[in-house]
Amino acid sequence: MIPDIDITALILAAGESRRMGNPKPLLPLGDETALERTVALFADAGIQDIRVVTGHMAETVRDRLPNLPVKWIHNDMFQDGMLSSIKKGFVAIQTDRLWFFLLPVDIPLVRHRTLASLLEARSAGTNDASLLHPT
């Protein structure tokens, strides 16, 4: 796929995972973790600017996955909920980015075709939508 240089992928991975017991980004999913699977989804689509918002156990997540091709963003207000991570990530996105994908790390099974369909809809420019979402 052709690299999309005006798109950022923003992965939310700051939650406490209280009910899960272990950090969700590090949960095994086949031969990889949920975070590795989510990063690969965007990287395989040609998105080069992938950012991960961490919070709870941020150092553990970064230390366990040091080779991920991402920019780490720390949300020190992660206890305030997901919206605080969205805000933190949004502020960190470069102003020259026209679009961004937003995906919580605990939804790692998005199909490659779903992402491709969204990218196609954006590229087609046949609608005036400022927000695209799969249905």
Which tens digit of pLDDT belongs to each residue from 81-130?
Answer: 999 999 999 998 867 677 889 999 999 999 999 999 888 887 776 556 66
CB 3 within 8 A of CB 13: no
- Residues near 94 by Cβ (< 8 Å), separated by ≥ 6? 8, 49
Burial class (CB within 10 angstroms; exposed 0-12, middle 13-18, buried 19+) of 69? exposed
pLDDT (average), residues 35-43: 96
Give the pLDDT confidence score for residue 3 in this predicted structure: 58
Give the pLDDT confidence score for residue 56 in this predicted structure: 94
- How far apart (Å, rounded) are the C-alpha atoms in residues 130 and 78? 27
Give the pLDDT confidence score for residue 99 in this predicted structure: 83
**Beta pairing, strands 4-13 & 28-29:** unpaired
pLDDT in tens, 48-59: 999 999 999 999
